[in-house]
Amino acid sequence: MWHGRRALDDSSIGIEVCGYYDQDITQAQYTALRELLRQLKAAYKIPDANILTHSMVAYGRPNRYHPEEHRGRKRCGMIFARPQVRTRLGITSQPAVDEDVRAGRVVVADTVLFRALYPRAASPAALTASATLPAEIRPGASGEEESFEGFLEIGKDGASARDLAGSAYKSERTIYFFPDGFVRTGADLAHSRRLRSKLENPPNGTRLLVGYVYGGHVRSSRPPSRIAGARWNYPSTYYRFPDGKIISGDEIEDSAIPGQTLIFYQR
């Protein structure tokens, strides 16, 4: 989200830079990235203030730790908010404030990150304590691997389905991935007398996607672009292969999707 606009993949260019959120990039990366930015700015007339870090635009949906949509889900790319880094990349200006926070569209869940991104901005009125983020989802030490965004796990910190999904725990927009490979929506489980016990007492390790559409199986007659439209290759779209492997839309090759692959996407 940026200035109230969502689905930024429709109106932006994403650049992936390998590294760590709290360490500098290499000289070779500076050289390559500076030239890439120079060309993109010239080709698409992009002002420097519109060159954003992922941490500026990423936001989290309501969950048991933060009841509101919130900024602070990601620290990745935060070094690109540092003036000295931007100068080395040929970027002369940057956003001074988070307009979505100022407008109340999101609250701040990571005050350390917020101050790193906007050191001259006044503290927002709507702050939530970053200390409430549990260790396993709080951005951590250098080199920490990030799990798939959006997946929640039953059993961590004693969390139940209701804790993680709230009243949406039995919704058709909440997807359950059971440890034995069984996949169903909350509505499917709630409406089946045989499956209702799986909804009320899912085993630890069951993972949830909240706010997603169960797109069903991908087939040659039903390609992902027909199911999910332009979102078929979004990073927030997930594919579950028959062997249980899950990959995101930006990693998928539409010509090599195995039969019986399931697709899940945000509408």
Same domain, 158 and 228: yes
Query: Does 209 map to a domain?
Result: yes
Q: What pLDDT is recorded for position 142? A: 30
Does 170 have pLDDT greater than 90?
Answer: yes
pLDDT averaged over every residue in the chain: 84
Domain C-terminal end among 132, 160, 191: 132
Q: What pLDDT is recorded for position 216? A: 95
Count of domains in the chain?
2
Say what the alpha-carbon torsion angle 207, 210, 216, 218 is, to the nearest 10 degrees.
Answer: -80
Contact 204, 211 (CB under 8 A): no
The 10s digit of each residue's pLDDT in 81-108 is 998 899 999 999 999 899 999 898 988 8
Same domain, 13 and 122: yes
Q: Kindly indicate the confidence band of residue 53, based on its pLDDT and cuts at 50, 70 and 90.
A: very high
Q: What is the pTM of this model?
A: 0.51
Least confident of 54-58, 176-180, 233-237: 233-237
Q: What single DSSP character describes residue 169?
A: G
Query: Does 137 map to a domain?
Result: no
Query: Does 143 map to a domain?
Result: no
Query: Does 139 map to a domain?
Result: no
Least confident of 54-63, 109-118, 120-129: 120-129
**Domain assignment of residue 185, given as a range:** 151-265
Same domain, 69 and 163: no
* Dihedral sign for Cα atoms in the order 153, 159, 161, 163: negative
Which of 135 and 174 is assigned the larger pLDDT?
174
Same domain, 120 and 170: no
Same domain, 97 and 31: yes
Query: Does 1 map to a domain?
Result: no
The 10s digit of each residue's pLDDT in 121-157 is 755 544 443 333 332 222 232 333 334 556 888 987 6
Q: Kindly indicate the confidence band of residue 27, based on its pLDDT and cuts at 50, 70 and 90.
A: very high
Same domain, 126 and 14: yes
Query: Does 32 map to a domain?
Result: yes
Same domain, 123 and 176: no
Question: Structure tokens of 255?
Answer: 């010509």
Query: Does 146 map to a domain?
Result: no
Work out the end-to-end distance of the chain between its first and last CA atoms, rounded to an integer number of angstroms. Answer: 15
Query: Does 142 map to a domain?
Result: no
Same domain, 15 and 120: yes
Residues 6+ positions from 55 with CB-CB distance below 8 Å? 21, 74, 75, 76, 77, 78, 81, 113, 117
